[in-house]
């Protein structure tokens, strides 16, 4: 996924995949500090539905919440990719995504018992890893497109394939949204499996 092409086919100008991963890690660290206020860390506005179905919500609510959260993230990145100065906002998106994961993991770990560890391992960590990769790919696409628009504006570079490239940009984000829906459904399945079979 990290090799998806962008507005420009020149990959020399693209930032390393690991730089974005590092930004998410910073966000996770910041989010974990929110455990000082457990009520804040457990808020869906902070953890962005990085929680389990037995934490006050049903499996269906979790799937819907996962998808809506991912949809808002993806559409925001799409919009910032069309902005000349969208880069700072893309970075902020990654930090917020990481903070949600960090807050959720810290909250569950603070309840440290065997049940909590199983919950964390089966229902939270897989989703966090997959959605982290999705977030990095999404923001990388957005930043790359935003950068090329910026270069086009300041250098007045002639790019005859702009319309075709924009269509490709839209298609890639549609694919990312579809993948988010699949991931959300799989997360719901894992939660159902854990709560109905493994936990009992």
Provide the number of structural domains found in the chain: 1
How many other C-beta atoms can be found within 10 angstroms of the C-beta atom of residue 19? 12
Residue 54 lies in a domain: no
**Band of the pLDDT at 18, cuts 50, 70, 90?**
confident
**Of residues 108 and 114, more confidently modeled:** 108
Which among 17-31, 68-82, 104-118, 145-159 has the top mean pLDDT? 68-82
pLDDT at 87 over 80: yes
- Please give the Cα distance from 66 to 149 (Å, whole number): 31
pLDDT, position 1 = 47
Between 38 and 113, whose confidence is greater? Answer: 38
What residues have CB less than 8 Å from 141, skipping those under 6 apart?
Answer: 4, 6, 77, 81, 169, 172, 173, 176
What gap in Å lies between CA 57 and CA 52, rounded to an integer?
Answer: 8
In a domain, 2, yes or no: no
- Inside any domain, residue 77: yes
Non-local (6+) Cβ contacts of 179 within 8 A are 134
Q: Residue 82: is its pLDDT beyond 80?
A: yes
Question: Which has more confidence, 3 or 42?
Answer: 42
Rounded Cα distance between 128 and 70, Å, is 12
pLDDT score of 71: 95
* Rounded CA separation 172/124 (Å): 26
Q: For residue 5, tell me if it sits in a domain.
A: no
Query: Whole-model pTM above 0.85?
Result: no
**Residue 11 forms part of a structural domain:** no
The answer to whether position 7 is within a domain reads: no
Position 9 scores a pLDDT of: 42
Alpha helices per DSSP H over the chain: 17-32, 38-41, 44-47, 59-81, 87-109, 114-119, 125-155, 162-193
pLDDT tens figures, 25-72: 999 999 888 877 767 766 777 777 777 766 667 889 889 999 999 999
**Structure tokens that stand for 157 in this block:** 């570079």
Asked, for residue 127, whether it belongs to a domain, the answer is yes
> Is 138 among the domain residues?
yes
CA distance 55 to 35: 16
Q: At residue 8, does pLDDT exceed 50?
A: no
Q: Residue 99 is part of which domain span?
A: 17-44+63-198
Among left, alpha and beta (phi > 0; psi -120 to 50; other), residue 49 is left
**Mean pLDDT on 5-23:** 63
């Amino acid at each position: 996924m990290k090799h998806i092409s962008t507005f420009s086919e020149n990959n020399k100008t693209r930032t390393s995949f690991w730089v974005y991963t590092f930004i998410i890690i910073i966000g996770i660290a910041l989010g974990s500090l929110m455990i000082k206020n457990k009520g804040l860390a457990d808020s869906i506005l902070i953890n962005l539905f990085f929680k389990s179905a037995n934490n006050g919500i049903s499996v269906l609510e979790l799937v819907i919440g996962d998808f809506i959260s991912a949809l808002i993230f993806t559409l925001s990145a799409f919009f910032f990719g069309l902005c000349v100065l969208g880069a700072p906002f893309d970075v902020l998106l990654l930090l917020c995504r990481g903070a949600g994961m960090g807050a959720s993991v810290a909250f569950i770990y603070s309840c440290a018992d065997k049940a909590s560890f199983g919950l964390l391992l089966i229902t939270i960590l897989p989703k966090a890893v997959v959605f982290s990769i999705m977030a990095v790919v999404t923001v990388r696409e957005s930043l790359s497109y935003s950068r090329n628009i910026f270069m086009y504006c300041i250098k007045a570079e002639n790019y005859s394939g702009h319309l075709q490239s924009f269509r490709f940009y839209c298609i890639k984000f549609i694919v990312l949204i579809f993948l988010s829906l699949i991931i959300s459904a799989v997360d719901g399945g894992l939660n159902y499996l854990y709560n109905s079979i493994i936990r009992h």
